[in-house]
Structure 1
Amino acid sequence: MSLPVFPQLPGQGWSVHKRPTFSTRTVAHVSGREIRVPLYSQALYEFELTFDALTANTAWPGLGANSLQSLMGLYLQCQGQYGTFLYIDPSDKEVMAQTIGVGDGSTSIFTFQRSLGGVVEIVSYVTDVANISVNGLALQGGWSLTEPNKVTFASPPAAGAPIVADFSFAYECRFLDDQNDFENFMDGLWTVASLKFRSVKA
């Protein structure tokens, strides 16, 4: 993966906020009727995390050595809102037996997607593919993963053949602010009351 990955740190606290976000243009008529135009084809996700304890040294091994440097280093690397990184949501990172397309005999590139309730949405960044099958037959080769979220077949799947995948994914995100507060509350220990970031559209 070419993008930096958000670190999984033992000192992360509860709770975690995950906000699906849309943008809708709404115009009201004098009669009370409305015209609503959706501006996003699918949701962007905003995350908010807290960190009860981060350590700047190796004195607190249960928090991970130099966990402060890991988190602050990512923030500095991204230059606040400017750069992007991959966030692997521990509760939402794997998809099994997902149909990602149906062959037509000529198309060889398909975009990974996942079903969530009654919605099918494109995933931001595929980190690993465990299995690809075409028309029920698992393929040992003949395909490649193209960053960030596409599979390319050496030969186009036959018309009408369902393409099914087991895969893991991450959200490509950016921080929401150009500054963030890292609080040193005792010797060698730090806390972050709120760290906000949101997914970006490729």
Structure 2
Amino acid sequence: MGLIHEFTGRRVVIAGACQTPGPICAQRLAKARARVVALDQNAAGLSDVVAGSSARIESLMLGADVPAALRRIGQSWAKTPLHGVLNLLPLAHPREIDAQITRLTALTRAFAQGLEAGEGALVTLATHPTDPFDLRAAAMGPALGAAHQALAKVLALRGVQINLVIAPQDDPERGLAAALSLLCREAKDLTGQIIHIAAK
């Protein structure tokens, strides 16, 4: 089915919306008639994300303490139905493993009730380094994968799907199609799975 059919009227949060491919994703979802909430620490970048689609994209600043900001947003969001969360936060800091696990935990806690109410999905897009000796960046994927699989056991009981897409570091946009497909839950039996996107 087409993107417009799948996302019409749905609420989708993009965390780290200023990171490539966040702006493209936000505009694509807005054109598909979704209601998009863009989250980031970059005020100027968020203005660019919203530009031209302010009727369908709203922005929220995360501030310096991302987990604390997510907690506040989650308290306000509560059980409002949410159909998808696209987590692009690892793209900004692909070597900060502990920070990304902490952010993933905060993101999940913030929106779990909303995702349960909307029978939604949480999808993280991360990258694999092109440099085989960049070991910290190479370790990010397995660390996030283990975290997603652990969360999948909990979220599946609440009807929420969670997945990880790993794209090439020099072309994260290659993972966008897979991420959007998972967000609209085209494949309901893939929760907890890690999807690797090969380089061209």
| TM value normalised by structure 1 | 0.24
| TM value normalised by structure 2 | 0.24
Q: Which structure shows the bigger proportion of residues in helix conformation?
A: 2
Q: Which structure shows the bigger proportion of residues in strand conformation?
A: 1
